[in-house]
Amino acid sequence: MDPAPAADAPAAGAARLHRARTSSRVVAWALAVFLAPAVVVTLARAVGFDRRTPFAQLVSVTPWFGAWSLLLGLAALGAGLVARPRRALLGVAAVAGAVVVVQGAWWAPLTTGSPAAGPTAPELRVMTVNAFVGRADADAIVRTVRDHGVQVLAVEELSAGLLDRLHAAGLDDALPYRVTGSVGPGNHGTGLWSALPLTGADAGEAAWFAMPSATVRVGPAATPVRVTAVHTVPPSVGSTSIWTSDLRVVGARLEAGTTAQVALGDFNATRDHSAFREVLGHRFADAADRGGHATLTWPTPSTTSGPSACRDPTMRPSSSP
């Protein structure tokens, strides 16, 4: 009788165990590598290190990193249930789970909403549109204004040509009061139209994009509300310092005001950006938070594809009318 097969059994078992351990570690390391960007972006968002390239751009799509972490966490957990050893895989799943929990806490206000200013607060219906270098459909804008009873309209990237088309479409009949700034052939112009008389109008041409503002009086008590049309430089590579400067200008304007404030337009920022959260401070709230929903506004199908972000919030006071 040949004793070799019995002698080889322990060696074969050890080889199988070694291959299993190697495979488990390879899978764990691969999942960890794919998870690393989500961890880094989440940490950058948590500590506010998001005002330089590439973090300013990556933080714009923070929730998508949360979704990616969820998928990787489930993959690691599933692999850990069948592979041996499972410690590394379960460790990756735990880290992914932590990312999901943290980001879930950030996202929760957009799904639950928060109380409004109060039943006596006057209502002001506002609308904003980025005209994409004046290419927007003027008839569609005017039709939307009329259909929804819009009282204040902000138009970013307002060109001279679009201004003429809006007039021809009847916008000045629906909203007879306006203030515009930096209107020309490019995308620097911004316009603010109102159904209510505007006072203290400011064309806001000091910034790269014009950010006009004016005061309207709302409701039976003629409550003064300062409305600012916002358009900041996007946080592109090479322009993050201008972007943060623009947001500081917006925040300073709002904090300087003693009346109720509404800021609407193209902030080129999300609530995940620390610079935008500083604009909110303790006095203002993002309308998306109040409403309990978020609309992914950028990019649009007409611009580019890829992850979307809510980059165009509307702000209002958090405790005053």
Distances (CA, A) of 78 to 26, 90, 214: 15, 9, 57
Q: Residues 217-241: pLDDT tens digits?
A: 999 999 999 999 999 999 999 999 9
Q: How far is 321 from 315, CA to CA, in rounded Å?
A: 12
Q: Residues 53-83: pLDDT tens digits?
A: 999 999 999 999 999 999 999 999 998 888 7
DSSP letter string, 242-306:
HHHHHHHHHHHHHHH--SEEEEEEE-S--TTSHHHHHHHTTTEEEHHHHHT-----BS-TTT--S
Question: Higher-confidence residue: 16 or 237?
Answer: 237
pTM (predicted TM-score): 0.84
pLDDT > 70 fraction of the chain, expressed in percent and rounded: 80
Q: How far is 229 from 314, CA to CA, in rounded Å?
A: 10
Question: Higher-confidence residue: 291 or 85?
Answer: 85
